[in-house]
Amino acid sequence: MRSIVLTKGVPDFSEGAVSFDEDGHLERGKTPTVMNPNDEFAAQAALQTRVRHGGHVTGMSMGPPGYADVLKEAMGSVYTDDSYLLSDRELAASDTWATAITLSAGLETYQEEVGDIDIVFAGFKSADGETGQTGPQTAWAMDWPIVTHVLALDIDPDERVLRAKRLVEGDIDEIETIEVSLPCFVVTDPEFEPTYRKASHRLTHKQLRAETEARAADHEEHLTTWNHEDLNLDSDYIGLDGSPTIVSSVDPIPKAPSEREATMIDPDDEGEMGEVLEEMHPFATGAGD
């Protein structure tokens, strides 16, 4: 099985340093980024497939050069064999549509130059845009079947079929089993949990995790970068020019106060500690505001 995990960098909101330009576009090159949390479930699904059926897992992302660190995070924290970054200035300010066009070109180029893809895994939605559109739009551009909200999956390599359990309309009490032919797209739900019931699978999982952590230490050696010319993309259909979405306004993310008032209490002072306990007691009992 040859799998691709689509991953994205999102602002590290804990840093409180999200930067926007005057047109309301996120300046990703100036904003600390981390791997989109929902993409970890996609990576876990790809790793489960790798453990059960062998093969190869590739991480792919579109973004500025700094997204190499996001791909490194995907490799080290979960699992990938190598990474591909689609990056140049022509791709800047892409909306989900332009991103999907670029990613589909990346997947097609990968198939031409590296090997046929069996499954593309994508996260449910990103922590910044939260549209949930990029995975389905990329599947549409590839004209491949897609299964969304996947909770569990397995593959019949001989029949070239993927069987998955998925949530219906986001209702966790309603689950259906669906079957699609390969190649296909899989969008994992945040409720996805990988399973390794066989001892051989657990041993393989442990071995692969050790290998990928060591590989991530030399991530640059396993990273390929393609620009829009490598992907044979027309600049009129990508980046800002190829994005029909218009950002009307952006609400700034509030920063935590740099200084907070605090009262120092001596834990050996019974009087002061008594006052603290008296003040906190209503909250401990659920009677506080």
Helix (H) or strand (E) holding 57: strand 56-62
Contacts of 210 (CB under 8 A, 6+ apart): none
pLDDT given for residue 53 in this prediction: 96
Choice among 18-27, 40-49, 258-267 with the minimum mean pLDDT? 18-27
pLDDT given for residue 51 in this prediction: 98
pLDDT given for residue 256 in this prediction: 53
Region 85-96: mean pLDDT is 91
Please answer whether residues 119 and 186 qualify as being in contact, where contact means their C-beta atoms are separated by less than 8 angstroms: yes
Q: Is residue 188 part of a domain?
A: yes
63: alpha, beta or left? (left if phi > 0; alpha if psi -120 to 50)? left
β pairing state of 56-62 and 82-86: parallel
SS3 64: coil
pLDDT tens for 202-253 read: 999 999 999 999 999 999 999 999 999 999 999 888 988 888 887 666 565 5
Provide the CATH number for the domain around residue 172: 3.40.50.620
pLDDT given for residue 280 in this prediction: 78
Choice among 53-62, 125-134, 163-172 with the minimum mean pLDDT? 125-134
Q: Is residue 282 part of a domain?
A: no
CB atoms within 10 A of CB 285: 8
Q: Is residue 271 part of a domain?
A: no
Number of domains composing the chain = 1
Radius of gyration for the chain, computed over Cα atoms and rounded to the nearest angstrom = 23
Strand runs labelled E in 118-266: 119-122, 146-156, 161-168, 171-181, 184-188, 223-226
Helix (H) or strand (E) holding 61: strand 56-62
pLDDT given for residue 44 in this prediction: 98
Enclosing domain of residue 80? 2-226
Would you say residue 6 has pLDDT above 80? yes
Q: Rounded distance, CA 164 to CA 132, Å?
A: 19
* Whether residue 244 has a cis bond before it, omega within 30° of 0: no
Q: Is residue 151 part of a domain?
A: yes
Q: Is residue 62 part of a domain?
A: yes
Please answer whether residues 92 and 239 qualify as being in contact, where contact means their C-beta atoms are separated by less than 8 angstroms: yes
Q: Is residue 274 part of a domain?
A: no
Tokens of 211: 């290998």
Please answer whether residues 122 and 192 qualify as being in contact, where contact means their C-beta atoms are separated by less than 8 angstroms: no
Helix (H) or strand (E) holding 215: helix 199-216
Alpha helices by DSSP H, listed for 33-176, are 39-53, 68-77, 96-113, 134-142
β pairing state of 171-181 and 56-62: unpaired
Q: Is residue 43 part of a domain?
A: yes
Q: Is residue 275 part of a domain?
A: no
- CA separation, residue 46 to residues 40, 59, 129 (Å): 10, 10, 24
Please answer whether residues 26 and 5 qualify as being in contact, where contact means their C-beta atoms are separated by less than 8 angstroms: no
Tokens of 192: 């996805």
Q: What is the pTM of this model?
A: 0.80
